[in-house]
Amino acid sequence: MFSRAFRVRSNTAIKGSDRRKLRTDVAAAFPNLSAEQLTEFIPNKEELNVIKIYCHKGEAVTVYMNNKNPILFEIEKALYPTVYTLWVYPDLLPAFSTWPPVLQKLAGGADLMLPGVVVPPSGFPQVERGTLCAVTLLGNRAPVAVGVATMSTAEMLAAGMKGKGFAVLHTYMDHLWEYGDKSYPPTLAPLVTDSAEKESAEDEEMEGKEPAISLCTDPLQHMNVGDLSLQEQDSCAILVGKEELDENRAAETAEDASTEGLQEAEDSRTPQEQMDALFNQCFFHALKCKVKKSDLPLLTSTFLRSHMFSCCPAGQQLDIKKSSYKKFSKFLQYMQHQKILQVKELNKGVESIVEVDWKHPDVKAFAVPEGFSSASAAHDSKSEDREQVYHAPEIIPLYGVSTKMIPLFQESGHRKGSILSSSEVRNIIINYVKANELVDETNKNFVKVNAILCDCLLDKSEQDEISHLKWDDLLSRCLERLQPLHQVTFFGQEPVVRKGNIEPIDITIAQRSSNKKVTIIKNLELYGLDPQCVANILQQKVQASATITPIPGTKDRVQVQIQGNQIHHLAKMLLEEYHLPRKYVQGLEKAPKLGRKK
């Protein structure tokens, strides 16, 4: 839920009566807390704040803060503890353990799958479906995630520990954690509740068969789990065991010894310097092995998602916010300043790489790391890889306060250019009407039009005729007179707010010579789709010629053109495979009718 940035709507202090109500709600939600712990958790005198936020999908969430750390968040009147709270009260929720490498996937927005859950010798805690649970890392009792069980303990075991186990709401390292002091989880020794487990642990220690596991304060600097590999399917983290571990252990030990000096040198760099170096490595690797001249122009989002991500070494993850650049566009600007490539905005708000200097000394000097497949193999599977990794962008309609609408919104603290969601606009209008007592006393479905509503919402010809408006008419007129905006969030990138309404993908049928038809597709770039990639995939699916052509009357914009009426195939690909909402695809009604041959 908090894997991406959220917008803060308001921040207010919690006073006496509200503080007492919050303490009562916490006591009901978490009966395990003693009276002393409850007073410590919701203190009488320390500063407490309540923050209203909107997540990237538009969910309204209430966050409670204490000592500048979020301690609780509330969704639909249900309270959930943050990791900061669980580090103080680690036994507040039933806990399930997972392997340290899974944490990075959970922080990226994945749910926890049952194959990634470690079964303890003493067995799982007994929970029911919908129970709020904590997720810990093996060897440390400090929770790193909060989630809801999607099945009971009995159902987990009956399913053979397969399927989704927990819907994850919040994790260490997500944006809610970043809103606090960004402290690391404490190291808390696991509780040994089973005598047999304790004896087994003592026997292993005496025999010296396995070294003791020690976790440092930062779980990302985790132990080397050699018998595990991580996969991600359907936005869920899955842990898959490897066989024949013992045969490889000797080789791994020798390799670790030989690279120890290199690792020490790398560790001397700051995390930001390490991330900068990782971005440089993946950038040059992608240019040298993944991108061809025929791929240009190439969307910068496609270059990052389909090319640079695939060049990232195992066990590492590209995160532009942890680098010194903070934004991928600034990283590309730096590379453009070095004259390695050229970036242009071919569509409004959409940047593409239009030129690459493969003879640049830095590109020529780059050596591909060992263990990666050859460039030819990468190019052979390029179309398939791009199709698999595409994620439809999240598009949220927004509204900007225009000059004419300022009088209506200034009472709520907004000014010209303030960006609001439709629900925020609705709440502001409702509060304005109630505060000014404009609800019609005889018919509450109508609102009386005062001077401000008249100036803001009525045309000159209507001002002498209309004295009342229905609620729906009032709200629709308000939205129509605000400046249309939209927020687009591409996978792995920060949200981008653009002016106007987003143009739909436009599909048309054109007639060519000899009465032949061709299908033309425009505006793919606005949705993070590479036109060349779409053309290649369609050509393979329908076995027809597909080309990229310039859009007439535009500069540097392209369209996909494919022989025949291929709208049925396009609809299946865009709606079913890429999961784009139908409202963002225009022209599907021109598909040929099935079942009748002429």
Say which CATH number the domain at 408 has: 1.10.245.10
- Domain boundary among the residues 179, 211, 233 is at 179
Q: Is the pLDDT score of 469 beyond 90? A: yes
Q: Residue 516 maps to which CATH number?
A: 3.30.780.10
With cut-offs at 50, 70 and 90, classify the pLDDT of residue 224: very low
Q: Output the pLDDT for position 368.
A: 84
pLDDT band at 206 (very low <50, low <70, confident <90, very high): very low
Q: 218 in a domain, yes or no?
A: no
Q: Which two tokens stand for residue 572?
A: 């299946």
Question: What's the pLDDT band for 382 if we cut at 50, 70, 90?
Answer: very low
In a domain, 428, yes or no: yes
Residue 145 above 60 pLDDT?
yes
Q: Confidence class of residue 439 from pLDDT cuts 50, 70 and 90?
A: very high
Are 451 and 533 within one domain? Answer: no
Percent of the chain clearing pLDDT 70 (strictly above) = 82
CA distance 120 to 124: 7
Q: What element of type H or E holds 318?
A: none
Query: How far, in Å, CA of 7 to CA of 344, rounded?
Result: 29
- Count CB atoms within 10 A of the CB of residue 493: 19
Do both 563 and 452 map to the same domain?
no
Q: Which of 161, 159, 112 is nearest to 135 (CA)?
A: 112
541/387 Cα distance (integer angstroms): 12
pLDDT at 53: 87
More confident residue, 410 or 390: 410
The predicted model scores a pTM of: 0.42
DSSP three-state, residue 141:
strand
CB atoms within 10 A of CB 165: 26
Among the candidates 120, 155, 179, a domain finishes at 179
Please state which of the ranges 119-128, 225-234, 334-343 shows the lowest mean pLDDT. Answer: 225-234
| Domain-embedded: residue 25 | yes
At 456, the pLDDT band (50, 70, 90 cuts) reads very high
> Does residue 376 register a pLDDT over 70?
no
Residue 551 pLDDT = 85
Distance CA 13, CA 6 (A): 20
Residue type, 209: K
Q: Residue 312 in contact with residue 282, Cβ under 8 Å?
A: yes
Q: If you write DSSP's letter for every residue of 539-595 in order, what string do you get? A: HHHHTS-EEEEEPTTSSS-EEEEEES--HHHHHIIIIIIS---GGGEE-GGGSPPSS
Sorting pLDDT into bands at 50, 70 and 90, what band is 371? low
Same domain flag for 284 and 408: no
- Are residues 475 and 510 located together in one domain of the fold? no
Does residue 121 sit within a domain? yes
How sure is the predictor about 558, in pLDDT bands with cuts at 50, 70 and 90?
A: confident
Task: Report the pLDDT value the prediction gives residue 76, as an integer from 0 to 100.
Answer: 86
Q: Which residues are CB-neighbours of 250 under 8 A, at least 6 positions away?
A: none
Q: How much is the pLDDT for 372? A: 65
Of 85-99, 340-354, 441-455, where does mean pLDDT reach its minimum?
A: 340-354
Q: Which of 168-182, 221-235, 462-476, 550-564 has the lowest mean pLDDT?
A: 221-235
Predicted local distance difference test score (pLDDT) of residue 268: 66
Strand partners, 238: 231
Q: Examine the domain organization and report whether 434 and 559 are in the same domain.
A: no
Residue 304, in any domain of the structure: yes
Specify whether the CB–CB gap between 285 and 372 falls below 8 A.
yes
582 against 391, higher pLDDT: 582
Provide the 10 A C-beta neighbour count for residue 103. 22
Residues 147 and 53 in one domain: yes
pLDDT tens digits, 9-23: 777 888 888 888 999
- Could you tell me which residues come within 8 angstroms of residue 531 by beta carbon, excluding any fewer than 6 positions away? 521, 524, 525, 548, 558, 559, 560
551 lies in which domain range? 503-590
456 and 421 inside one domain? yes
| 262-316: pLDDT as tens digits | 444 445 678 888 899 899 999 999 998 888 888 888 888 888 888 898 888 887 8
* Contact of 488 with 350, CB cutoff 8 Å: no
CA distances from 409 to 402, 419, 434, 463 (A): 10, 11, 14, 20
Same domain, 536 and 444: no
Are 153 and 286 members of one domain?
Answer: no
Q: Which amino acid type is present at position 574?
A: L
Alpha-carbon distance values, 390 to 219, 336, 533 (Å) = 30, 26, 11
Same domain, 436 and 582: no
The pLDDT score that the predictor gives to residue 596 is: 52
- Dist CA 229 CA 249 (whole Å): 15
State the average pLDDT over residues 541-569. 86
Residue 431 zone, left/alpha/beta (φ > 0; ψ -120 to 50; rest): alpha
- Which range among 198-202, 319-323, 370-374 has the greatest average pLDDT? 319-323
Q: What is the DSSP string of 224-248?
A: --TTEEEEEETTEEEEEEPS-HHHH
Residues 25 and 108 in one domain: yes
Q: Is the pLDDT score of 259 beyond 50?
A: no
Which residue, of 310, 345, 365, is where some domain finishes?
A: 365
What does the pLDDT average to over 441-456? 92
Q: What is the pLDDT of residue 212?
A: 38
Q: In this predicted structure, which of 106-120, 310-324, 419-433 has the lowest mean pLDDT?
A: 310-324
Question: What is the number of domains present in the chain?
Answer: 4
- CA quadruple 140, 146, 152, 156: dihedral, nearest 10: -60
Least confidently predicted of 90-104, 288-302, 460-474: 288-302
Residue 315: inside a domain:
yes
Give the residue, 419 or 250, on which the prediction is more confident: 419
112, part of any domain: yes
More confident residue, 501 or 295: 501
The gap between the terminal CA atoms of the chain, to the nearest Å, is 52
Amino acid 192: pLDDT: 56
Q: Are strands 132-137 and 95-98 parallel, antiparallel or unpaired?
A: parallel
Q: How far is CA 103 from CA 168, 303, 506, in A?
A: 11, 26, 41
pLDDT of residue 292: 87
Residue 445 shares a structural domain with residue 521: no
Alpha helices in 290-419 (DSSP H): 300-302, 328-337, 361-365, 375-380, 382-389, 406-409
DSSP β-ladder status, 60-66 and 48-54 = antiparallel
Instruction: Tell me the average pLDDT across 386-412.
Output: 83
Given a cut of 70, whether residue 380 has pLDDT beyond it is no
Q: How far is CA 3 from CA 111, 234, 390, 491, 533, in A?
A: 11, 16, 18, 11, 28
- Sort strands 236-241 and 228-233 into parallel, antiparallel or unpaired: antiparallel
Provide the CATH number for the domain around residue 105.
3.10.400.20
pLDDT at 245 over 50: no
What residues have CB less than 8 Å from 45, skipping those under 6 apart? none
What value does the mean pLDDT take over residues 477-494?
Answer: 88
Edge-first strand listing for the sheet containing 132-137 = 117-118, 95-98, 132-137, 140-149, 164-171, 111-113, 236-241, 228-233
Q: Is the pLDDT of residue 550 over 60?
A: yes
What is residue 253's predicted lDDT score, i.e. its pLDDT?
Answer: 40
Q: What is the DSSP letter of 250?
A: H
pLDDT at 594: 65
For residue 327, pLDDT beyond 70: yes
Strands 95-98 and 78-81: unpaired
225 assigned to some structural domain: no
Question: So what's the pLDDT on residue 406?
Answer: 92
